[in-house]
Structure 1
Amino acid sequence: MMEPVPSSVEQCPFCRKTIRRTAEVCPGCGAERQYGPTRRESLTTTGIGLVAGPAAITVVGAGLTLAVVAGVIGALMGFFVAHARHSVDRWMPPPRKPGSLA
């Protein structure tokens, strides 16, 4: 039997099973490859920007109109930060089985 080329395989970061580099799910533990940010990461950074923008403008003492504009700009910046930070593929932990403590 032929062995795979070393550059075409990798180890699962969770169970250390050897898998093909093109695998989307680890057959050993069920970990999944994630491309880009998760929905939670996008919503979190967008929410932080949505709150931080108007908060900064309010501290400065600007009016309500500028606070709304700062909120929109902050939300957009938060969204783009999430996509820039998680623009590569990465492995997400396998789903927990019901009844397990770990």
Structure 2
Amino acid sequence: MIEPIAGTVEQCPFCHRTIRGTVEICPHCGAERRFGPTLRESLLTFAVGVSVGPVFMLIIGAGVQLAVLAAAIGGLLGFFVAHSRHAGDRWMKPPAGWTPPE
């Protein structure tokens, strides 16, 4: 039997079984390799950026126009934070009730 090359296999971080290094979904537990932020993470950081900036501007009395500008800048910053924080590969937990194909 031919043994696989050591650099082409890795361990699933959830079920700890050996998998190919190129798989996107673990065939044993269903964990998924993701690149970049999920939609939830992008929306959450965007919402935080859109809300924190205007609140701060209104507290210091800068006015509504600067608060709107701060919301736009905060939304962009939130989007970029999500994408820079989750810029690499990572494994996501398998979905509940996932069963391996037969």
Q: In the alignment, is residue 5 of structure 1 matched against residue 1 of structure 2?
A: no
For these two proteins, the number of residue pairs brought into alignment is 98
Name the amino acid aligned to 1:28: H
Name the amino acid aligned to 2:93: P
Contiguous gaps of at least 5 residues in structure 1: none
CA positional deviation for 1:6: 1.2
Contiguous gaps of at least 5 residues in structure 2: none
Task: Detail structure 1 runs of 4+ shifted over 3 Å in the superposition.
Answer: none
Q: In the alignment, is residue 63 of structure 1 matched against residue 63 of structure 2?
A: yes
When normalised by structure 1's length, the TM-score is 0.93
Name the amino acid aligned to 1:90: R
Question: How is 1:43-58 mapped onto 2 (pairs within 5 angstroms)?
Answer: 43-58=43-58
Name the amino acid aligned to 1:32: E
CA positional deviation for 1:70: 0.1
CA positional deviation for 1:43: 0.1
| 1:1-56 Cα shifts (integer Å, max 9, x gaps) | 11111111110000011011110000000111111000000000000000011011
Match in the other structure for 2:87? 87
Equivalent-residue separation in structure 2 for 1:70 and 1:85 (angstroms): 22
When normalised by structure 2's length, the TM-score is 0.93
Match in the other structure for 1:41? 41
Match in the other structure for 2:29? 29
Helix, strand or coil at the partner of 1:27? coil
Equivalent-residue separation in structure 2 for 1:31 and 1:85 (angstroms): 20
Name the amino acid aligned to 2:68: V
Identity percentage over the alignment? 58
